Amino acid sequence: MASGVKPRVKVPKSASAGEVVTLKTLISHPMESGQRKDKDGSLIPRSIINRFTCDFNGQNVIDVKMEPAISTNPYFEFEALVPEAGEFTFTWYDDDGSTYTDTKPIEIV
């Protein structure tokens, strides 16, 4: 596991039923591209997060396939439809097999 991986997400606390809300996610990760060389000139092996998903109450919002061209500390901003109160689940999949998840509840007002 890459060290110090910490997901951060920004989700509104509440929405009205059927509202579209903007979600922002950031995860600290070096996203080693596999193109860089160390000081001895040998390639540093690729080690990235290769997939990101966001679901709401078990239904998918977005599913992103990520390549090494995604910047260090991957950031995503997108919109979700909130039909009811519930919980967003954010999942990041690392090349090394680790997964990182974060969840955020949202209320209906």
Partner 1 sequence: LTVLPFRANASVDDLIAEFTGGADLADSGVDLTAPEIAENGNTVPISVDAPGASEILVLAAGNPTPAVATFAFGPLAGSRMASTRIRLAGTQEVIAVAKLEDGTFARAAKTVKVTIGGCGG
| Least distance between partner 1 and beta carbon 43 (Å) | 11
For partner 1, the closer CB: 76 or 92:
76
d(CA 56, CA 70): 24
Angstrom distance (rounded) from CA 18 to CA 22: 13
Between 3 and 69, CB nearer to partner 1: 69
Supply the minimum distance, in Å, between the C-beta of residue 32 and partner 1: 10
Burial 66-83 (b: 16+ CB within 10 A, else e): beeebeeebebeeebebe
Q: Which residues bind partner 1 (CB under 8 A)?
A: 20-22, 33, 35-37, 55-56, 59-72, 74-83
Q: Give me the least distance between CB of 57 and partner 1, in Å please.
A: 8
**Beta strand pairing call for 14-15 and 99-108:** parallel
Residue pointed to by tokens 């009811």: 84
Smaller CB distance to partner 1: residue 22 or 99? 22
